[in-house]
Chains A and B, each alone.
Chain A
């Protein structure tokens, strides 16, 4: 069975602080895919990143970076110099191999960035 744990329910930071959102996953598959989605207050789900299990390279996209470590089954997301517009709920998700595999979500981390 697959499981994704986002232990941080809610995080509050002041603008320009760096913040890391944790994601720990469980799977028995050797091939799997990890995702992060953003859900702003408007409610839609916005895709941020996809990573497959064979690619442990960290990725940076502007102020966003992701650290994938298979040894600790973690796929953490860091926002550098946070901004008010980063306020949202962030979901980590896991998808197994196979075209019919489902997407398993964590319970999300609500990030509040204040001035």
Chain B
């Protein structure tokens, strides 16, 4: 199993550009989520999904969209990139059982100029 995969590993954008960060998992996990990691702030939840067709907002959702058309994939879209979105983005997944461990992808480092 590949686990949780993310692409790209690194991306540079100009302010106003849009892009999609890809996330896929092959563990048949129902729960998937996106976090951003900024210095001194730990990881903060952007959006999450409890299954195909169901998504909801986390604590920092502004400027990001998600969709979940399949169990495996959970892409994160930046609609109009801003320098404040410079961060490291992690995708995670877990089974739908209560309190299960979330497993993280390798991360995408995004720089917005």
Please report A residues at the B interface, Cβ cutoff 8 Å. 4, 31-33, 35, 37, 43-45, 47, 50, 52, 91, 95, 97-103, 105-108
Contacts and interface: CB of A to CB of B under 8 A. Distances in A.
A31 B50 CA distance: 19
Nearest to A43: B107
Interface residues of B, number: 29
B33 A52 contact: no
A100 B56 CA distance: 9
The 8 closest A-B pairs by CB, nearest first: A33-B99, A105-B42, A45-B104, A107-B42, A105-B43, A102-B45, A50-B101, A100-B50
Contacts of A105: 35, 42-44
A103 B106 contact: no
B102 A103 contact: yes
Nearest to B42: A105
Interface residues of A: mostly helix, strand, loop or mixed?
Answer: loop
Interface in B59-96: 59, 88, 90, 92, 96
B30 to A, nearest CB: 8
A107 B41 contact: yes
Nearest to B97: A99
Interface in B1-50: 30-31, 33, 35, 40-45, 48, 50
